[in-house]
A and B are shown apart, each in its own frame.
Chain A
């Protein structure tokens, strides 16, 4: 799923400083699972924003709605009465925020979250990055552990000299992806494949402005 973290109330408040009627729209899929952008987050954020503006002596009207997904016009059609508001704050990921911006082209759109990564739901409230969307999957070569996402340098041929007791040089709270890969390959009995030199990646496939067209 796509993981996002909430923007601070101060940042959201500053973004909508020039408006008195805003619509806050949540997204009920990925960002709801990671407790950032679902119905409950919309309610908490909207309430906090109203209170903060009240303290400033400038009341703000904040409408609240949550759709199943903001990355799809089919669900964006369910957003009601957007024309009654001066601006929209979206708590969806960056894809959904752009979706709602396309749905309401004449309304200023503000991001209520920072989209961070594609991750795994480790446990309630804890998510880890697993995929960079590089467009050239090599998980079969690395024991099912992705070096592109889970090595801080996206190395393809083993750990760097910074690996330290199985942890990464950028932080002792982060596992060294290549130690994970080595251990997994050892467990699978596939260490002979570790010897093979993996070629440089084709970063053309990881580039910007990507699309996929199955329309034929």
Chain B
């Protein structure tokens, strides 16, 4: 079964993600992808993540498929206008890509080409509607396609966003715009996340909880300071604090494993973000008892 079928039949799914490198040497990336084969249901490929210029998503999605994993094609609206987005979606379709994650994208000033013109011709909610249209056989201009797409479109939500109500309202819009699954921003505050899941029930949409591997207490503090919508509780920072290097990583793997174990009964699946330690994703899943 593929990602869509697994999720729709109610099986617990595990996704991870790979960030394309900046440059043409993809040996390490391929090593990481190969290590995930058979361990994940599908693998996200990020789109110039953090507004840092890297290999394009489509080319890496092809590598993932060649290795034998189903990709989730992340598409942001930062770098392409509506012509570019639709054109790339048609390209993705003929390459055999089935899953698309519709995102707005980080602002260029957060990345490495700060002077870039931000596009944002459309945004995540509208992109979901565009994908629906392509699936129905027409483009944004209402023109008929010679062959429709058949994408399984998803989106993201930030359950720990402050303030929460505007974020939740947008989450609902994404469901109404046709998002069939959600992956969340990294979550650490379990009681807060459980409250979110309780409220999300009425929308009846599969949610994959975002698990971001903590590699050190320093990283946790960095996330708290600089990453919007992510708050690592002090007790997790204290747990990590005594450890350094590989020992800290092992502790982080244990923490992530515990989180997943707690989420198994609540969520449709988990989305594991290991950021550079993709080869340890199997260890995290083992720690979770998966």
Contacts and interface: CB of A to CB of B under 8 A. Distances in A.
B118 A197 contact: no
A159 B167 contact: yes
Interface in A164-191: 164-166, 169-170, 178-179, 182, 191
8 contacts: A155-B123, A156-B125, A161-B185, A162-B110, A163-B166, A164-B229, A169-B107, A197-B177
**Secondary structure dominating the interface of A:** loop
B37 interface: no
Interface residues of A, number: 27
A197 B162 contact: no
A114 interface: no
A153 interface: yes
Given A152-B107, A195-B172, A161 B121 contact: no
A211 B177 CA distance: 36
B228 A153 contact: no
B123 A156 contact: yes
B237 interface: no
Interface string B135-171: 0000010000000000000001110011101110110
Nearest to B162: A165
B104 interface: yes
B89 to A, nearest CB: 15
Interface string B64-84: 000000000000001000100
Cβ-closest 9 pairs across A and B:
A158-B170, A164-B228, A182-B166, A157-B125, A161-B158, A153-B120, A200-B122, A155-B123, A162-B228
B58 to A, nearest CB: 23
Contact of B123 (A157, A164, A194): A157
A199 interface: yes
Interface string B102-139: 00111101100000001011111110010000000000
Interface of A: 152-166, 169-170, 178-179, 182, 191, 194-195, 197, 199-200, 203
A155 B106 contact: no
A152 to B, nearest CB: 5
A90 B23 CA distance: 46
B109 A170 contact: yes
A164 B162 contact: yes
User: Chain B CB within 10 Å — which of A156, A159, A191, A194 has the most?
Assistant: A159
B107 A182 contact: no
Nearest to B109: A170
Contact of B126 (A152, A157, A182): A157
B139 to A, nearest CB: 12
Contact of B125 (A158, A163, A191): A158
A140 to B, nearest CB: 18
A35 B229 CA distance: 39
A200 B126 contact: yes
Contact of B166 (A154, A179, A197, A199): A179
A22 B196 CA distance: 66
Nearest to A156: B123
